[in-house]
Amino acid sequence: MLKRLPDVYVIVFCLIMLAALATWILPGGQYQRRTEIIQGTSKQVLVKDSYRQIEAAPQMLSVFTAPIRGFVRMAEIIAFIFIVGGAFFMLNETGAVSAGIHALVKRLKGREYLVIPLVMFLFSLFGAGFGMCEEAIPFTLIFVPFALALGYDSIVGVCMTFLAAGVGFAGAFFNPFTLQLAQGIAGLDPVSGWEYRLIVWSVVTFLSIAWVMMYAAKIKKYPEKSIMFDLDRERRRQWMEQQSQETRFSMRHAGVLTALVLCLVLMLFGVTRWEWYIPELAGCFLAMGILSAFVGGHTANQMAKNFVAGCKDMAQAALIVCFAGAIIVVLEQGRVMDTILYGMAAAISDLPPMLGADLQYVFQMFLNFFIPSGSTKAALTMPLMAPLADLSGITRQTAVLAYQFGDGFTNMIIPTSPVTVATLGLAKIPFERWFRWNIKMQLMFFGLSILLLIWPVLSGWD
């Protein structure tokens, strides 16, 4: 059934047209918004009971103009994709990553299985701790070739970083961008309820690692069973040719990789201590690319040519991001985004507690398709979901957990998530293949989320 999914551009453009159709069917609506300072940051939040119907603005030509507006809306992350792609191409052309992976693979001979749980644990911890999301994108360029060198496929490489960070993001016990923001809006103490959230994070992380390790073991034994077998075969052949030419790990290689490690450490401190975001991270990677190319012995002209070549490789990922942003643009221009929020909220009120918690989760999961930004969704929905939780007989803490689950897990598979499409673009994994592989895991996450919401409802968790 899922073996012949259309190309991701076809999927996203159809969604843009569906969004335009919705503006002709749904009534226009609008919530009042007010500015609040939450966790030291100014946020626009909805005013409870302020929804009113307004005249809709049916969209037609915007189907064709929305992608450029989506480009403007997503300009930061698109620029980030280009700069990171160019910087890593400069790094890769030094041969240091190839030589370093080759040396590490030789040292791990017979113990390759240790890499997956260790790397996934760390990235999940980063996702749960400081909300690693966009920051995980560049690591794709390191761990995909690493996974191929270990005898796995590119899916495993993406799972070690992107998927693991997403799992931690969904089951976070500290994340300031989703958990603490949502708790602040809901009137809860920051990081309250961390004990149960730590259990949740441990469970989802363990099950995700086990899932990926079982898949990796199967692919290592039967490579032809990989959904990426045909594409990875060519990449692995190129990798082996490169390895036959570059096997000696030189002092220049060590210097280049030192520049990379320094960049990653600086990025970690920047995110956790200095509140860095996309502009600062992009600047850090650009500096890393220039420094690594200089240490690698490249001339200024070589650096420029390699940077442009890396940007060219990122064109597809950048285009997908702007088309994904176009969906949100159409709904907002058509004045139906708030109508969708109001309709879903009305459906949840006056339900039994358990059903109310589950529907809050489903609501957040559905809305994530249109608003993949976790902080934006918290600001828009928690002013509604917190009072609805009171009406449904569940605690606000439970409503925040339902928001976390609905926001986090499906981020890994929706074509409207700029982080997802950017990561897959860097990994050169077609979206439709990733969807076919990840959909079974999403079903596992769905069932797990329903189960993990039971105790909070029954115990009145607060």
Per residue in 124-168, pLDDT tens?
887 887 667 776 777 787 788 888 888 899 999 999 889 998 999
pLDDT tens by residue, 393-447: 788 899 899 999 998 899 899 887 878 888 898 888 998 899 999 999 999 999 9
With 0-12 / 13-18 / 19 or more C-beta atoms within 10 angstroms meaning exposed / middle / buried, residue 449 is: buried
pLDDT tens by residue, 262-277: 877 787 677 667 777 6
User: What's the pLDDT at 2?
Assistant: 45
- In the block, which residue shows the tokens 């990171």? 84
Mean pLDDT estimate for the chain = 81
Q: Is-contact 291 259, C-beta < 8 A?
A: yes
Which 8-state DSSP code applies to residue 60? S
| Paired residues of 30 in beta bridges | 52
pLDDT tens by residue, 177-231: 678 778 877 778 777 888 899 999 999 999 999 999 999 999 989 999 999 998 8
Which 8-state DSSP code applies to residue 35? E
- Which amino acid is it at 147? A
Q: Is-contact 88 340, C-beta < 8 A?
A: no
Give the rounded percent of residues in the chain with a pLDDT score beyond 90: 21
Pairing outcome for strands 41-46 and 28-30: unpaired
User: What's the pLDDT at 271?
Assistant: 63
Q: What is the number of other CB atoms lying within 10 angstroms of the CB of residue 265?
A: 10
Confidence label for 253 from pLDDT (cuts 50, 70 and 90): confident
Give the rounded percent of residues in the chain with a pLDDT score beyond 70: 86
Does the structure show a pLDDT above 80 at 49? no
| pTM of the shown model | 0.69
User: What's the pLDDT at 456?
Assistant: 93
User: What's the pLDDT at 391?
Assistant: 59
Query: 378: which 2 tokens?
Result: 């918290």
